[in-house]
Amino acid sequence: MLPPVIKTIEVPCTPEKAFTVFAEDLAKWWPRDKHSVSAMQGKVARAVTLEPRAGGQLSELTADGEEVIWGSVAAYDPFARLAFNWHIARPADEATTVDISFEASGTGTRVTLTHSGWEVFGEEAKAMHDGYASGWVFVFETCYRAACGTVTA
């Protein structure tokens, strides 16, 4: 069994703003040109959206105008926690879990992303784990952090 990928960052805003940037402003900071179904085809996704409720969908509007489901929202606890079942470019029964927590700290918010459930990939599990371990560095630690840095607390 592989351990979860865990990424923790500090952002210079309140938990309310940090949560809102992640959940409601996803299309503004997600690197659609590098991390999307469209990007897998050398194109840029038109949009990425997250329906703000448990049971909502996380989806991409591809460069060609097709809606592709990336996952479903498993938990939506405004300003504290967001979790989703993640299966971008894979069948829903091959979903992993991405859980993000938001906690006030010192001068901002500690945001922790935990990505788990690698065993669903069988023999591909290690490669998927390692790919996401590096992918979240850019998506979460770089792009999301930068988006939070542009908001005021």
| Cβ atoms of residues 96 and 116 within 8 Å | yes
* C-alpha span between 77 and 119 (Å, rounded): 27
Please, which pLDDT band fits residue 129 given cuts at 50, 70 and 90?
Answer: very high
Number of domains in the chain: 1
Residue 13's CATH number? 3.30.530.20
Whether the pLDDT of residue 153 is over 70: the answer is no
* C-alpha span between 44 and 33 (Å, rounded): 4
Chain-centroid distance, C-alpha 140: 7
Position 151 scores a pLDDT of: 59
| Cβ atoms of residues 81 and 96 within 8 Å | no
- Of 86, 84, 104, nearest to 95 by C-alpha is 86
Percent of the chain residues topping a pLDDT of 70: 97
What's the whole-number mean pLDDT along residues 100-119?
96
Position 89 scores a pLDDT of: 87
Give the predicted TM-score (pTM) of the model.
Answer: 0.94
- Of 13, 31, 4, 58, nearest to 149 by C-alpha is 13
Domain residues for 71?
5-149
Helix (H) or strand (E) holding 146: helix 145-149
Please, which pLDDT band fits residue 16 given cuts at 50, 70 and 90?
Answer: very high
User: Starting at the edge strand that comes first in sequence, how are the strands of the sheet with 96-105 ordered?
Assistant: 5-11, 108-116, 96-105, 81-86, 67-77, 57-61, 47-50
What's the whole-number mean pLDDT along residues 56-70?
97
- Of 42, 55, 33, 31, nearest to 139 by C-alpha is 31
The residue with greater pLDDT, 152 or 129, is 129
Sole residue written with tokens 């005021």: 152
